[in-house]
A and B are shown apart, each in its own frame.
Chain A
Amino acid sequence: MDMAIVFKEVGFTYQAGTPFATPALHDVNFTIPEHSFTAVIGHTGSGKSTMVQQLDGLILPTTGSIEMAGTTITADTKKKQLNQMRRHVGMVFQFPESQLFEQSVLADVKFGPKNYGLSDAEAINAAKAALELVHIAPDLYDASPFDLSGGQMRRVAIAGVLAMEPEVLILDEPTAGLDPVGQNELMQLFADLHQARNMTVVLITHQMEYVGQYADNVLVFDGGTVVKTGTPEEIFADSQWLRDHQLDVPAATQFADALEAKGMPIEPALDLDQLADEIAPLIGGGAHE
């Protein structure tokens, strides 16, 4: 099935038709190619989170249409159809640990697959596989999810989404509030899933380092619409434009830009490894690992 996601002239207004009507999105047009790792960036209130809820059919567009997983979603789409589509989409919300509710870790993780019609045995297998992916040790399977540490709870909640074996994985600031080691582990996990399982990953983030390091496609939101799309190289080439939209470039890119301004023959870099590879020969060192 074609898992590309196409937004056509999508608009959305919260509480449309009431005195509280608040327009959140307008004229949104973009395509997220199948198997891509797409980063969505934009400052707070630019419409990112609203767009992401539409990706999973949690809210319907007020105008326009969304095509994904062989379904076209418009303002009149029926609930039954949405359920069908959601099976293909895994959605990790901000602070996903607040969705934990079962008595044991394993029971919570198998909740999703069971809802989508798997037998208990199949669901347990899927849950165990997902827990292994997020590095939760088997001796924690029977623990109450509320007794875990914050980082563990986050990983169990993410396992709850992965257990449904989605083809599209949507991540809304998945690393917020974790320590740096936990953040990097989690991002590495998503990168591996993208590689090994050929998942389409959509990542909302404020951390430009991750965009430079992992993404191959970037959507920039501002004022409720997409203002720019392209590869990270294209997006980060114009740091002034990004700053005008209250965004920034990764630290490595900033550093490379600064060196270039000083007259060093250096190409724009997207992450630390790339930057190191470029600098090493300039200062007479060998290739770095």
Chain B
Amino acid sequence: MNNLILGRYLPGDSWVHRLDARTKFILSMLFIFVIFLANNVYGYLLAAVFVMISILMTGLGFKVFFDGLKPLAMLMLITTFLQLFFIDTGQVLAQWWIFTVTTDGVVNSIIVFVRFMLIIMFTTILTLTTPPLEVADAMEALMQPLRKIGVPVAELALMVSIALRFVPTLMDEAQTIMNAQRARGVAFNEGGLIKRAKSYVPLLIPLFVNAIKRAIELGDAMEARGYRDGEQRTKFRALKFTQRDTVAAVAFVIFTVALFATRYI
């Protein structure tokens, strides 16, 4: 259960770690759109270099980023194969039943694969270098304009923060309960599908019972300390833009312009 790299924060003190969460969040989102500007090999080369430099600046090493790709490998392969088989323009290279592999298909699937990989690696920078709670804060800050149309932004953000806060707690608890039931002779992950599903009942029921109990206790504790919703409140972790964020934004703009320029090479 501890193998979940996607969405896992790795503490550090690099330049990227110290960027404001909002900057990282916006740039990650923008990257997903900007990457579509690339339409030839130079564009993808430039984007790859940009991603590589960004990763180097996190000081975490490439390995964790490649590990982060693994859970999505299946999705990447399926998308790539769909491109390979279902594009039928260009020169035919091979044919079998309803499947046709063409030159355009090959080129396109390579493009899709590379684009996918770059997007995942770049957005992984956000999740690996930013504590989840800061990501939630950044989302709250960026959703502020929605308050005007009556969206309860602060409450939504609080829900997200609480949910994130309890992920490790619940994982620990799941582990403890699993151990206790294993000691009572439950064999998890053994036997057929139905037997497997059944073996999780003794894990899930106590887990839900405890989670609900905990939620009630937390609600009581918050009310006892005077929490009311809909209030404008200040934050313990205030987000602050610094010079670093300006530098990052400028670098990203330069990258975007350069990527646009590669279209005309």
Report A's interface with B, CB cutoff 8 A.
Answer: 15, 18-20, 53, 56, 58, 79, 83, 86-87, 89-91, 93-94, 96, 98-101, 111-112, 115-116, 146, 160-161, 164
Roughly how many angstroms separate A100 CA and B181 CA in the complex, as a whole number? 9
Whose C-beta in chain B lies nearest to the C-beta of A112? B184
Describe B's contact surface by its main secondary structure: helix
Given A93-B179, A99-B180: A15 touches B185 (CB 8 Å cut-off): no
Q: Is the CB of B210 within 8 A of A161?
A: no
Interface stretch, picked from B47-55, B86-94, B95-103, B201-209, is B201-209
* A56 in contact with B184 (CB, 8 Å): no
Contact A161 B184 (CB under 8 A): yes
Give every chain B residue within 8 A of A94 (Cβ-Cβ): 176
B205, closest chain A residue (CB): A101
Contact at B202–A111, with CB atoms within 8 Å? yes
The chain B residue sitting closest to A115, CB to CB, is B185
Instruction: List A contacts of B187 (CB < 8 A).
Output: 79, 83
Contacts of A100 in B (CB 8 A): 206
Q: How many residues of B contact A (CB 8 A)?
A: 22
CB pair A111 B206 closer than 8 Å: no
Q: Are B180 and A93 in contact (CB under 8 A)?
A: yes
15 A-B interface contacts by CB (under 8 A): A19-B10, A20-B2, A79-B187, A83-B187, A89-B183, A91-B183, A98-B206, A99-B184, A101-B201, A111-B202, A115-B184, A115-B185, A115-B186, A116-B185, A161-B184
Residues of chain B within 8 A of A79, CB atoms compared: 187, 190
A53, A83, A101, A116: most-surrounded residue (chain B CB, <10 A): A101
B197 to chain A, nearest CB (A): 15
B184 is contacted by which of A19, A98, A164 (Cβ under 8 Å)?
Answer: A164
User: Taking CB as reference atom, which chain B residue is nearest A83?
Assistant: B187
Interface of A, helix, strand, loop or mixed by DSSP = mixed
Cβ of B32 within 8 Å of any chain A Cβ, yes or no, is no
Instruction: Please name the residue on chain A nearest to B186 by beta carbon.
Output: A115
Please give the distance in Å from A113's CB to the nearest CB on chain B.
8
A20-B2, A58-B182, A99-B202 are known; give 20 further A-B pairs, CB within 8 A.
Answer: A18-B2, A19-B64, A58-B179, A58-B183, A79-B190, A86-B183, A87-B185, A93-B180, A93-B183, A96-B180, A98-B176, A98-B180, A98-B206, A99-B177, A99-B180, A99-B184, A101-B202, A101-B205, A112-B185, A161-B183
B173 at interface by CB-CB < 8 Å: yes
Given contacts A58-B182, A160-B184, contact A99 B2 (CB under 8 A): no
* Binary contact readout B169-195 vs A (1 if CB under 8 angstroms, 0 otherwise): 000010011011111111100100000
Residues of chain A within 8 A of B210, CB atoms compared: 98
